[in-house]
Amino acid sequence: MSKAAATLPPVVNERATVLPVATGRATATAFGRKLRRYPVLASTSILAATGASVAGAAVPILLGRLVDLVVAGDTIGSLLTLAAWVLACGLAAALLVGAARWLVAEWITRACADLREEVLGNALRMDAARLEAAGAGDVASRVTDDVEQVTDMARPAAEVFAALVTVVITFAGFATLDWRIALAFLVVFPVYAISLHRFLPQAQRRYAAERRAVAIQSQSLLTTFGGTRTIHAYGMEDRQSLRVERASRGAVDAQLRAVRGFLWFANMMNYAEALGLAAVLLTGFLLVRADVSTVGDVTAAALLFHRLFGPLGLLLITFNDIQSAGAALARLVGIASLPVPVAGTAGSTTARRSVGVVATAVGHHYLDGPAVLHDVSVEVPPGQSLAIVGESGAGKTTLAAIIGGVFPATAGRVRLGDRPINALAPDELRRLVGVVTQEVHVFAGTLADDLRLAAPAASDEDLHAALALVGADDWVAALPDGLHTRVGDGEHPLTAGQAQQLALARIALVDPPVVILDEATAEAGSAGARQLERASAALLRGRTAIVVAHRLTQAQACDRIAVMAHGRIIELGTHDELVAQGGSYARLWSAWRR
């Protein structure tokens, strides 16, 4: 490690552990519940795997009998009958093994897909404050790497399941042979026990450490890309790339430690196999020589053991992958079991309370960048509107996002009505305050689906009412399938203004008493801008509103205006007061009117 890297603050940040990781028992219960949702697949999988193993175990036992018949010089007829049975069992085993693999893979893949959907759904609905606290990297690595790892396990899991059944059935097959040969096989167990005893605890730690190191690596990369502006602005490039380097090295080291542990274990499995087979053959040889067992029994036992080592080795070796997938599964179940914020119901039926907003001594800095808000205090009484204006970079979006509860301020307090914003549960927060940011996204699906993301229980009438409120009813009615037209990537294209109207309609559906608007795409003076201004005005009527005004006509329409510069409010008053004052706002206004 370089000296510079050694003196850096640690990249391991507590954020990576803010999102819950389920316990082993909770993980098993949650995944078991998913598996039980497919009872037909479950029972046919178990039947096919058991049938395959029974037929498979019958082959060596019958071959042993065949050897004894040959040694005894039996008739050709009985030899051929037994050979036909061997063939039939072999064929049945081959067919059933294929069927079992397909069924088990299908069963587990479906359960994994259900879990993946739940995790993605919860990750998307996770409130921004928790996301901010956890770090997007942790969430990203869970919904990508961890989901992939668990899904990739579906096919091997089918093999593991078949191997488990084979081991059990093959052990039962030993009951039909000489018990002394079966006893010889037990010599492998101390080797297995010692290896597992040494391997398992350290493997668990190493795989958990590996997943954590990969999550930290993702977090440090995302942080770097997300904060590029700050990093460039403050010349932090070298420092940040050392951090990324350190996180990447941590991930590689953790992966190598896990691989080394596994290689040692795989070697021990090979020794166990050699030892077990040698013990069986030696015991068989001594028993046949002493005339207490038959060559057929020894042949059957050797073949059964040979048949057992494959699945047993697979079980032990894939323990490695199972443990690793188990760690990933626990992280997924951790997200899946997060309480899902309840979306608001249709606006027309919700009684709207008046809620005012008070921000007191709010300060903020992004990551370890400089402060971008300093001691900002502002109050918006219930039902009134405040416009925030100022030059680019003044801190308007940051202040609006903090008041909207998108992320918490690093200093100061925000109250919505009589409640501190950080005491609100995510669903309460979203019912109280609706935020339209500069990033407006149209989700793939029908237009109705897109709107119902905000209010799943909304009826078609509610959707039409919300669209009419924001002046979008005409163009929606003109779409090929109206509300059921598919929009989003590759589907019916929407203009930026239409996408923004949809964002406003989503807020209208939730019907929160407080609305924060920070939308900025329409060109000043354009027909689109006028239409959006009408839509915003209709939405804001009767609500407490904070509008980041990118066009001064928006500011003029608000009850009061705050002018921001360098992270502070430098002027505050009505449009007329500020124009009369002859300060920054008056200058902006006269420039705007020209």
Ligand X SMILES: Nc1ncnc2c1ncn2[C@@H]1O[C@H](COP(=O)(O)OP(=O)(O)OP(=O)(O)O)[C@@H](O)[C@H]1O
Which residues contact ligand X by CB under 6 A?
226-227, 229-230, 366, 369, 372, 390, 392-398
The DSSP string of 196-208 is HHHHHHHHHHHHH
By beta-carbon proximity to ligand X, the closer residue of 240 and 398 is 398
By beta-carbon proximity to ligand X, the closer residue of 550 and 560 is 550
Min. distance of Cβ 228 from ligand X in angstroms?
A: 8
By beta-carbon proximity to ligand X, the closer residue of 75 and 392 is 392
By beta-carbon proximity to ligand X, the closer residue of 402 and 448 is 402
Min. distance of Cβ 157 from ligand X in angstroms?
A: 41
Min. distance of Cβ 398 from ligand X in angstroms?
A: 3
Min. distance of Cβ 392 from ligand X in angstroms?
A: 3
Give the CA distances from residue 414 to residues 209, 399, 418, 495, 543, in Å, rounded to whole numbers and listed in that order.
38, 10, 10, 35, 18
Is 399 in contact with 359 (CB distance < 8 Å)?
A: yes
Min. distance of Cβ 403 from ligand X in angstroms?
A: 12
Strand ranges across the sheet with 411-416: 371-380, 357-365, 411-416, 419-420
The residues that bridge with 563 in the sheet, in sequence order, are 389, 571
Task: Give burial (CB, 10 Å; 0-12/13-18/19+) of 277.
Answer: middle
Amino acid identity of 477?
A: A
Min. distance of Cβ 407 from ligand X in angstroms?
A: 9
Distance CA 506, CA 502 (A): 6
By beta-carbon proximity to ligand X, the closer residue of 74 and 375 is 375
First to last CA, the chain: 61
Distance CA 572, CA 555 (A): 12
Distance CA 228, CA 224 (A): 6
By beta-carbon proximity to ligand X, the closer residue of 236 and 479 is 236
Min. distance of Cβ 395 from ligand X in angstroms?
A: 4
Tokens describing residue 26: 């909770």
By beta-carbon proximity to ligand X, the closer residue of 368 and 461 is 368
Report DSSP state, residue 352: P
Amino acid identity of 87?
A: L
Min. distance of Cβ 491 from ligand X in angstroms?
A: 30
45-60 as b/e, with b when 16 or more CB fall inside 10 Å? Answer: bbebbbbbbbbbbbbb
By beta-carbon proximity to ligand X, the closer residue of 394 and 467 is 394
Min. distance of Cβ 388 from ligand X in angstroms?
A: 8
Min. distance of Cβ 399 from ligand X in angstroms?
A: 7
177-198 as b/e, with b when 16 or more CB fall inside 10 Å? Answer: bbeebbebbeebeebeeebbee
Min. distance of Cβ 389 from ligand X in angstroms?
A: 9
By beta-carbon proximity to ligand X, the closer residue of 232 and 541 is 232
Is 129 in contact with 424 (CB distance < 8 Å)?
A: no
By beta-carbon proximity to ligand X, the closer residue of 126 and 325 is 126
The residues that bridge with 445 in the sheet, in sequence order, are 487
Give the CA distances from residue 162 to residues 20, 31, 45, 159, in Å, rounded to whole numbers and listed in that order.
33, 19, 9, 5
CA 297 to centroid of chain Cα atoms: 53
By beta-carbon proximity to ligand X, the closer residue of 179 and 225 is 225
The residues that bridge with 415 in the sheet, in sequence order, are 358, 420
By beta-carbon proximity to ligand X, the closer residue of 250 and 567 is 567
Min. distance of Cβ 165 from ligand X in angstroms?
A: 53
Place of tokens 């323990």: 319
Is 60 in contact with 307 (CB distance < 8 Å)?
A: yes
By beta-carbon proximity to ligand X, the closer residue of 333 and 548 is 548
Q: Which among 129, 55, 60, 127 is positioned nearest to 94, based on CA atoms?
A: 55
Q: What is the pairing mode between strands 560-565 and 411-416?
A: unpaired
State the SS3 of 117-155.
Answer: HHHHHHHHHCCHHHHHHHCHHHHHHHHHHHHHHHHHCHH
Min. distance of Cβ 263 from ligand X in angstroms?
A: 43
Q: Classify the phi-psi angles of 319: left when phi > 0, otherwise alpha if psi is within -120 to 50, otherwise beta.
A: alpha
